[in-house]
Structure 1
């Protein structure tokens, strides 16, 4: 063992082996980074790794102890409407603001997608199914090729740095720095670093991911024509999400696990909800993560193209949240009050916390307990989490029992029980006969 004398921020001294040191030196050379930058990257990854490992047990406990499912029994159509809405609306910054960074690519993508996927498919019945399912891929290919032509032609050679980053298809040496084959393995960045300040912040993020995923679960069920997810399904989903976070922490992932809101919107756009499609997509993602050149090739797609897609997909998710209102009394002033205050506070509170968070990560909550600050600042920076807290509290305490019919509970409650609807098992049983091998209490 040898010691490298680089002391980051005067707080730690990295101890590594000779083989790993030489490997990182080659990584720094291929990625055009200084060794100092690479050390900081490795230290950050190891810290995230430790935080993910610890915080994953929050979701595992909430899920497999059925705590989250018991909380879900307090939901109603009235409280679910704002939660699902802000799952889509809360990501508005990834839409047109990101698209506007390269209008000449993003705007054509948005217009072409809407025209191709919604208008052209209605011209002839033979084109309907093809364009409905494959218009998105077709539009990406066309605009991506257009962006590549502009890049090669030198259209951005004298543009601002931000414009070049957003518009070019050859940014950041993606293809040249990506390895052909790289198989991830446990603790590839070294021993995880466990620091309380980071762990508590990540635990808050685990709670946020549970709330956001719950809203996406209801949206996915609605778009696929399934029954609303029963309480036990929500519990096990959060539990499996925690297991995913644990695996990602062990393998040194940069981020944890949460539901892809984009894929939920894609479900509504393409009307494809087959599990087989998801399984095949998972195989592709594993392939691209191992064969780096292929992953880098697709990573060269300019972000404004995705932003144009988000404008459609996130909008679909937000709109499907509104559809839950049909199961409650929309003429009830009480319901209008709960919806209005929950929806507004979910967006407004999140915006306040985001605007008042310093670049170093310190938010508006400033007490003597740093861990307490991290948890609250993380929780209230999430619109769906605020919506669940406010909506569930007001909906259940403001004439909750006497207004059960107005709240839509007679329609809602049967779906929340395991045997409440005969279709629940059809929609939510696990694949590959997993149900036969797992204890019932975890299902």
Structure 2
């Protein structure tokens, strides 16, 4: 009987050339045009075409068992797929606000303040790392932090009004650290004996290199060269890149939480509990405050808790590193900050220009463009928008170049890039980011107030980043739903690009920590900085691997498997009528919100 069963299975496999199997992304219906969210999944499932593929053994084994033992149940591949199929969704369906929605002013202000808190961590971490080795004092550090926050507000407003118009906050980038360290270690600057004078000369050198490097980004953006390069992108190629935008920042997640587990772990558990498990609890009538404002609530509670631990002497006999990460009075920022101070262009003096410094900084500009491209893709998903077309990406890159130019003129000490800031609240609209800029400037004039926010312990921000960057990575991997992941070609490209995108930068970073220089160590410092910067960036390494492999391995035979029939619609203005959402004119009414000239996106699901 058993031998007869296996003989039946083998004969069935030989005749399975027309059995149903994998569904390809290129044949998907245009689901974003459906306006009824609850019926969308069922309708899409009914419309999905079936492509002929050899059936799996599981269905034939079940049929054979039923044939031998008299079971009349029909365990076919179709029934199995009907149980597990989840049709791809061009736009997320469980968000409350679209990109063109306008929440009430009170809610908008609270969301803007929440974005401000998320932005604060990076804005404090970067100056805290570079200003001391530049020779600066606590007063210099607070001025640099203030300048970063002020210019970030301006750049965010420009990006929301004239750039991609996506809810992406523009702020300081860690991608510029290697060129900055190369400039700091320049022998001509290290010979300056007086620390504050060395700080000023180093800052001017960084300003000059940022100004020159910004010209490269402006040219690539407004000349549409970056848009032409984006024609080589596909869902298969961009999924690892966007995923690595989040996964590549893992060192700023739990490793920093572990520096002070007393407040890092409670913060991580609290933000998960409020934003996920208690999001439907509404203590204030119809307002889901736990779902929309978990950052404000958790940061306030855990910050107060950490202050109680500090005042109670919990860290009095702990190591210096633990005290630095846990104590709320660790910094001399409040006493060093005057009540009023306004940053202005060239506040550190006239910039100095050096060819080697500028070439090194250009590599960081290229890395920031790659990271920003991935962030734009993630922001469009979170904003219930379609992928930004190529010309929109170029426009955003061009305005980001202007932002780097402003960084150089004002002297922020680093360049800027785009990050997704609206992860906790379901609001995905440019107004949140524009109001974020006004909120920046209101607090900016009262330096004592916002400097008190700068002493929030880093593990609190790290706990937020664990969730924020993880969500960005998941959004990136969601692009794989438009590809055929039953293809060994696609599995190879995805796996290799993700693995090398994490492994190669980790090798470069470990080498730097052990040897105080990168693996590329020639007599040309600027050449070293260029290669070490590029290969220390996970998204950049992932882009290089994924795009090269995706455009050289069986390209013509795998267009549908790569997801190109769906992706190609968003390359040009006329490719899809929903591309108009990125060209709709925005206007500012006095004392009110940003308004679209017409509504583009209609997909909205009620709570």
TM-score of the superposition, structure 1-length normalised? 0.86
Q: 1:238 aligns with which of 385, 389, 397?
A: 397
Runs of 4+ in structure 1 off by over 6 angstroms are none
Counterpart of 1:122 in structure 2 is 280
- Deviations, residues 52-76 of structure 1 (Å, cap 9, x unaligned): 1111011101101111111111100
Aligned pairs for 1:246-257 (under 5 A) are 246-257=405-416
Verify the 8 A CA contact 2:378 2:476 in the aligned structure 1.
yes
Aligned pairs for 1:282-321 (under 5 A) are 282-321=437-476
Counterpart of 2:267 in structure 1 is 109
Q: Structure 1 CA distance, aligned partners of 2:525 and 2:292?
A: 49
Q: Structure 2 CA distance, aligned partners of 1:65 and 1:342?
A: 29
> Unpaired segments of 5 or more residues in structure 2?
1-135, 144-192, 589-593, 595-607
Counterpart of 2:385 in structure 1 is 226
Q: 1:100 aligns with which of 251, 258, 271?
A: 258
Counterpart of 1:48 in structure 2 is 206
Structure (1/2) with the larger helix percentage:
1
- Deviations, residues 381-437 of structure 1 (Å, cap 9, x unaligned): 101011111111110010112210110100000111122121222245453389xxx
Aligned pairs for 1:50-65 (under 5 A) are 50-65=208-223
Counterpart of 1:337 in structure 2 is 492
Q: Structure 2 CA distance, aligned partners of 1:371 and 1:410?
A: 42
Counterpart of 1:419 in structure 2 is 574
Q: Structure 2 CA distance, aligned partners of 1:192 and 1:274?
A: 37
> Unpaired segments of 5 or more residues in structure 1?
1-23, 435-443
Q: Structure 1 CA distance, aligned partners of 2:353 and 2:443?
A: 30
- Deviations, residues 143-189 of structure 1 (Å, cap 9, x unaligned): 01111111222222222111111111122211100111111111111
1:382 aligns with 2:382: no
Verify the 8 A CA contact 1:327 1:408 in the aligned structure 2.
yes
Counterpart of 2:364 in structure 1 is 205
- Deviations, residues 64-105 of structure 1 (Å, cap 9, x unaligned): 111111111110010011001110000001111001111111
SS at match of 2:576: coil
Q: Structure 2 CA distance, aligned partners of 1:293 and 1:363?
A: 40
SS at match of 1:432: strand
Verify the 8 A CA contact 1:226 1:427 in the aligned structure 2.
no
Q: Structure 2 CA distance, aligned partners of 1:164 and 1:372?
A: 39
Verify the 8 A CA contact 1:228 1:416 in the aligned structure 2.
no
Q: Structure 2 CA distance, aligned partners of 1:315 and 1:205?
A: 24
SS at match of 1:171: coil
Count, aligned residues: 403
Verify the 8 A CA contact 1:99 1:305 in the aligned structure 2.
yes
Q: Structure 2 CA distance, aligned partners of 1:123 and 1:289?
A: 34
Counterpart of 2:120 in structure 1 is none
1:276 aligns with 2:431: yes
Cα gap change, 1:204 to 1:359, in 2 (>3 Å): farther
Q: Structure 2 CA distance, aligned partners of 1:294 and 1:246?
A: 28
1:161 aligns with 2:324: no
Cα gap change, 1:128 to 1:292, in 2 (>3 Å): closer
Aligned pairs for 1:63-82 (under 5 A) are 63-82=221-240
Counterpart of 2:87 in structure 1 is none
* Bigger shift: residues 164-173 or 90-99: 164-173
Cα RMSD over matched residues? 2.3
